[in-house]
Amino acid sequence: MACYTLSADLLRRMLGVPGPSQPRPVWVPHALQGPSSDGAGSAVETISAQNDSDDEAVADITVDLGADALAGAQGAKGQQQGAPHSPLPPPLPPLHLLSPRHAELLAQAEGRGAVPTLHIAVEPSKGLKSDAWRLVGPYLRLYGAGALSNSTLINPEYTHLFVPGLGSQPYVTAKAYGRAIAVGIGDPLAAPRDWPALAAAFKAALPHASFMHVGPAYARVLQERLGFAIADMGAETNILVRAWGYGKRTRTIRTAARDARSAGVRVREVGPAGLTPHVGRQLADVTGDWLQQKSVKEQELRVFIRHLDYENPQLEDGVRLFVAERDSLPPPPPNLLGQPGLFDPATAGPLGGGEPAAADTQRGVEGFVLLDPLWRGGEVFGYVTSLNRMRRDGHHGTLKLLYEEILAAVKAEGKEVLTFGFSPFFNLQRSPFHGSLFAHLGLTFLFHHGNNLYQFQNLAFSKARYGGGVVGDAYRDPSVTMTHVYSALPTGRPGIRLLLDTYIMFQFVGFFGRLWDTFLKLVGIRDSLHGPSCPEEGDCRREGSSEESVSRGSSPVPSLVGTGSSSSACGSPRSDRSAGAKARRK
């Protein structure tokens, strides 16, 4: 792979061709901005891509907006449809609040009859004062209905291709083996009628880019308008909170939550004022302990996983944090623990009997769930469980109790949905797009045989329990829905290049490591993806999973098609085994 990419890169440089991740300047005519008079548009619009080498050389990319871009898109969930009444585009912030580079480009647009495409990097440390939030944030609040929408403005690996008056297409740049690729992530933060124009602008700026984690409606736009090949890459699990309730197939979830409550576990919501440095340190400790049970514990995941800065969690603009706590005795002084005749950990008192030392109980964090808002028309209509963690030695029902309390709170507030997020390569379907058979077979193989790389099956199984199991392409419980997400690959490119780009992206996300390490781990020879420590390339930036795994990757995985009467979702390895033993005794 390295030889292929190095030779291709050398040839590209000799010919003066820009790299696949290097964006071209693109100017979008004002005619493309704002809502059209008839809601669909009937003219043929032109997007101009200007090359750096020659300001006068213009390559036109024509996008036919005469038909509804979403016609025939079946199965798209309601939250992907954006604001119901297609409000006017949000105004730009004052230019003096933006970085000089972005302000200068926007100022140049005043006399050109066109607006530039801006490539805005996410800066988590600046929060709502960053250019990304000031320019893209208003579009997020109107159209940010996807499970990853909020993460695209928080995770530092994201960049936004922003077109004033239209919206934004989030993307990431992945680098490996001497090659850099750009990958659009998720649906645009824009009105659905503007998706074709944004997709065309993105393709003009990054002609070699592909897409991942797009919904069915946007996948159809990419296939029919721009000729991308579409392949299923997994599904999201959505609980319709107004209709969902415990049933016989989810009784073990309720039992585990009840047991946790009886054991003294309590759930509370923590707001910005209550997020003290002490609480932040406890959250970080829980995550550190949690990662020890993961098959990818030595590296942190990214892109599909929410980034959380424990020193500055940014609980603002709809983000919420729920923590589970339990009373516990404080630890003994370090200089006493284990010294004969001084302290007995079993009794919290002196060895050899006597009265235990007086100690006040304290509440320690056993687990937590972070919720990101789902936006539609400026209102929050639901949440996604973007991050959740539990201590390995915590009560096995801790996360079940957390979800029970969250579901009750969200339902009481009148919200519509709680999304558990993305299960990679789960329940893949060839229809309706009938994409590459090779891609379908490869991802199916990873789901069934790649649990040593990442806990694909365990993750899907933990979510399927809330739906009572899977029948065909749906959950048994109709109040739990399944929404497929897709990858979109450009056609007419060499197969070896597409294969390499896909591998680079999965390595960037954290599913894979270096090629040889990945092979050894896949066949079970090596325990970690990168040997004893993380690589120097920086693959250790993200963590865990957006939904917890049930057991280690090498453990047997229960069938997804079942009654759901084994252990409940969101459990620990220990709780899964104990629940299974109880079921066998019964």
Does the pLDDT at position 206 exceed 60? yes
Say how far residue 96 (Cα) sits from the centre of its chain. Answer: 33
Say what the pLDDT of residue 438 is: 87
Check pLDDT > 90 for residue 453.
Answer: no
Of 584, 564, 469, 464, residue with least CA distance to 255: 564
Between CA 159 and CA 120 the distance in angstroms is: 5
d(CA 529, CA 412): 44
573 vs 276, which has greater pLDDT?
276
178: helix, strand or coil: coil
CA distance 384 to 549: 17
**Is the C-alpha dihedral spanning 442, 447, 450, 454 positive or negative?**
positive
pLDDT tens profile 242-277: 999 999 999 999 999 999 999 999 999 999 988 888
* Contact indicator for 158, 172 with CB cutoff of 8 Å: yes
> 550, 558, 554, 555: which is closest to 583 by C-alpha?
558
How confident is the model at residue 545, as a pLDDT?
37
Burial of 216 (C-beta count, 10 Å sphere; 0-12/13-18/19+): buried
pLDDT band at 493 (very low <50, low <70, confident <90, very high): low
Instruction: Look at residue 64 and tell me whether its pLDDT is greater than 50.
Output: no
Extract the tokens encoding 36.
Answer: 């059209």
The arithmetic mean of pLDDT across residues 461-471, rounded, is 91
* Pair of tokens at residue 121: 């990097």
Report the pLDDT value the prediction gives residue 526, as an integer from 0 to 100: 67
Amino acid 120: pLDDT: 96
Mean pLDDT along residues 27-38: 56
The pLDDT, as a whole number, for residue 52 is 40
pLDDT at position 553: 34
More confident residue, 565 or 464: 464
If one compares 542 and 483, the residue with the highest pLDDT of the two is 483
Contact 324, 265 (CB under 8 A): yes
Tokens of 52: 């750096």
- The tens digit of pLDDT for each residue in 274-298 reads 888 899 999 999 988 887 776 554 4
**361-418 pLDDT, tens digit each:** 567 899 999 999 999 999 999 999 999 999 988 999 999 999 999 999 999 999 999 9
pLDDT of residue 67: 38
Half-sphere exposure of residue 533, counting CA atoms within 13 Å on the CB side? 4
Confidence of residue 332 (pLDDT cuts 50, 70, 90): low
Are the beta carbons of 118 and 135 closer than 8 angstroms? yes
> Would you say 369 and 406 are in contact if contact means Cβ atoms under 8 Å apart?
yes
Residue with tokens 């980034």: 307
Predicted confidence (pLDDT) per residue in 496-517, tens digit = 778 888 888 998 988 888 877 7
Q: What is the pLDDT of residue 75?
A: 36
- Whether the pLDDT of residue 167 is over 90: the answer is yes
Q: Tell me which amino acid residue 69 is.
A: A
Q: Is the pLDDT of residue 19 over 80?
A: no
Query: In this model, does residue 25 exceed pLDDT 90?
Result: no
| Closest among 276, 363, 355 to 326, alpha carbons compared | 363
User: Does 543 score more than 90 pLDDT?
Assistant: no
